[in-house]
């Protein structure tokens, strides 16, 4: 019955009705429902923002097992951005916000969407699908539950890509090349197999569930830029919304701009639209916390010249110094 309901769940679309999966509907229902519930009272707000991270963690583990290519988290992330943008433009009292502050928020949010969307589009460019296979067999057969497959051991993982890797097939054809045990084809150093994407990814950092793609050599810089823009947009939203609905107090002045912070938020739940702005700010700060942790991890790994996948696998290879590592990262080398 569930499959029949999902098959009949369609929306009118150009060229024919388009099917909507249940995980897409669940995203919108949970996101909007929890935000509306959180604005009812203080205790509802406390309950929602305690349960929300635990719920997303549970869904991440559940969908990772039964539906690894689900677009649930991708829709959640982009719908959250659109929800905060709509909340800021329609509900937050704009009389309390300067026009340049409004423009700055819209620009930061637009840049974050563009960078992350481009990062998702460019993810396929790091997939090693055109490299000849070792035994002529088909690529990417699912095996164990681990996300990345172990490559042939004793490989050369240096930056100059020397010829110390294991040879597959013998002779001079495979000299210095490595072989993926799942794809059964030759791959260059620092390439790892993603079982969700069903492909080897060049310089894979991790598989990002929020973008539903791998972060690798082709999109790592766009991903980092998108995370930084998103972090700045969320912090700006939280500050502007809280100072608009709470009693603001000036903290300091930067180049003639007075930086305000909320002082008293005791009466926010007496009016529902004001409470929506407050809970939206808390949600933005919650998102900003996790994104800040992700950005700090990325900065540390880039400074050390390694990816998260290499660190998790224990392949801690020394790659010159911090400045050289950042130079190669920024130049895409």
Which phi and psi angles does 260 have, rounded to 5°?
-105, 155
Is it the case that residue 327 has pLDDT exceeding 60?
A: yes
The pLDDT confidence band at residue 8, using thresholds 50, 70 and 90, is low
136 domain residue, yes or no? no
302 domain residue, yes or no? yes
Radius of gyration of the CA atoms of the chain, in A: 24
Lowest mean pLDDT among 71-80, 134-143, 224-233: 134-143
By C-alpha distance, which of 294, 307, 86 is closest to 209?
294
Q: Judge whether 89 and 81 are in contact, CB under 8 Å.
A: no
pLDDT of residue 246: 83
More confident residue, 3 or 328: 328
**Domain containing residue 323:** 21-128+206-331
Q: What are the tokens at 110?
A: 């637009």
| Rounded distance between C-alpha atoms, residue 138 and residue 105, angstroms | 48
178 domain residue, yes or no? no
Total structural domains within the chain: 1
The pLDDT confidence band at residue 168, using thresholds 50, 70 and 90, is very low
- pLDDT digit string, tens, across residues 78-131: 999 999 999 888 887 766 777 888 899 999 999 999 999 999 999 888 887 644
Q: How many CB atoms lie within 10 A of CB 87?
A: 21
- pLDDT digit string, tens, across residues 248-268: 777 777 676 667 777 777 788
> Does pTM surpass 0.85?
no
Is it the case that residue 175 has pLDDT exceeding 80?
A: no
pLDDT of residue 185: 75
Of the CA atoms within 13 Å of residue 93, those in its CB half-sphere come to 13
323 domain residue, yes or no? yes
54 domain residue, yes or no? yes
Which phi and psi angles does 123 have, rounded to 5°?
-60, -35
Is it the case that residue 153 has pLDDT exceeding 50?
A: no
Find residue 213's DSSP bridge partners: 208
Helices 22-38 and 42-66, axial angle in degrees (round to 10): 160
Per cent of the chain over pLDDT 70 is 74
Q: Considering Cα of 118, then 296, then 213, then 83, what sign does the dihedral take?
A: negative
162 domain residue, yes or no? no
Find residue 257's DSSP bridge partners: 254
310 domain residue, yes or no? yes
């Amino acid at each position: 019955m569930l499959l029949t309901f999902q098959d009949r769940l369609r929306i009118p679309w150009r060229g024919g009705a388009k099917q909507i999966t249940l995980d897409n509907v669940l995203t919108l229902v949970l996101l909007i429902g929890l935000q509306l519930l959180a604005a009812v009272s203080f205790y509802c707000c406390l309950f929602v923002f305690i349960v929300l991270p635990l719920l997303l963690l549970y869904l991440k583990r559940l969908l990772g097992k039964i539906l690894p290519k689900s677009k649930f988290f991708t829709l959640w992330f982009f719908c959250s951005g659109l929800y905060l943008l709509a909340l800021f433009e329609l509900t937050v009292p704009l009389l309390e916000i300067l026009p340049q502050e409004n423009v700055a928020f819209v620009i930061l949010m637009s840049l974050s969407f563009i960078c992350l969307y481009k990062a998702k589009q460019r993810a396929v460019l790091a997939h090693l699908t055109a490299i000849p296979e070792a035994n002529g067999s088909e690529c990417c057969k699912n095996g164990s539950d681990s996300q990345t497959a172990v490559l042939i051991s004793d490989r050369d993982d240096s930056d100059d890509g020397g010829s110390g890797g294991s040879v597959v097939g013998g002779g001079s054809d495979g000299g210095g090349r490595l072989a993926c045990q799942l794809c059964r084809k030759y791959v260059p150093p620092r390439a790892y197999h993603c079982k969700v994407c069903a492909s080897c990814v060049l310089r894979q950092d991790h598989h990002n569930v929020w973008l539903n793609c791998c972060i690798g050599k082709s999109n790592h810089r766009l991903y980092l830029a998108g995370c930084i823009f998103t972090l700045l947009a969320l912090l700006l939203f939280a500050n502007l919304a809280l100072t608009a609905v709470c009693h603001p107090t000036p903290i300091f002045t930067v180049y003639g701009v007075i930086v305000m912070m909320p002082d008293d938020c005791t009466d926010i739940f007496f009016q529902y639209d004001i409470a929506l702005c407050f809970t939206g700010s808390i949600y933005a700060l919650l998102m900003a916390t996790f994104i800040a942790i992700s950005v700090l991890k990325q900065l540390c790994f880039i400074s050390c010249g390694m990816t998260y996948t290499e660190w998790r696998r224990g392949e801690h290879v020394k790659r010159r110094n911090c400045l050289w590592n950042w130079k190669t990262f920024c130049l895409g080398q």
